[in-house]
Amino acid sequence: MAGELQVMLVAVQPEQQRRGLGRQVLQALLLQAQELGCSKASLEVAASNRAAIHLYGALGFISCGQRSGYYRNGEDALLKCLDLKQIQDRTDNRPE
């Protein structure tokens, strides 16, 4: 849909995880999408993916649906959405 960011995959090398990289990359992506005029972001995440669900929750994504048996192994996908109009304009990672 025009004006909507759909996040397909975010991944950090296992040995680099829990260092804030996933959060930084997603925050930069969300800000860029907002600046390009997107009003909404959405993604799908496996119901058992605790790390990703925590990360998306920490960034403000909320549950907005579910796809039963979405993955090949039969696992459900949770739909997560974020209203980009409500995200803070974070300037801490940006050049002067």
What whole-number distance in Å separates Cα of residue 61 and Cα of residue 55? 9
Listed ranges 33-41, 44-52, 68-76, 81-89: which one lies at the site for ligand COA (CB under 6 A): 44-52
Complex with ligand COA: residue 30 or 45, whichever CB lies closer: 45
Interacting residues of 96 by C-beta distance below 8 A, sequence separation 6+: none
67 binds ligand COA (CB under 6 A): no
Length in residues, the chain: 96
Interacting residues of 94 by C-beta distance below 8 A, sequence separation 6+: none
Backbone angles phi, psi at 26, to 5 degrees: -65, -40
Listed ranges 32-40, 43-51, 66-74, 82-90: which one lies at the site for ligand COA (CB under 6 A): 43-51
The token pair at 1 is 């849909």
Complex with ligand COA: residue 37 or 94, whichever CB lies closer: 94
Q: Does 44 participate in catalysis according to the annotation?
A: yes
Residue of the chain from 3, 36, 48, 50 that contacts ligand COA (CB under 6 A): 50
Complex with ligand COA: residue 32 or 37, whichever CB lies closer: 32
Q: Does 70 participate in catalysis according to the annotation?
A: no
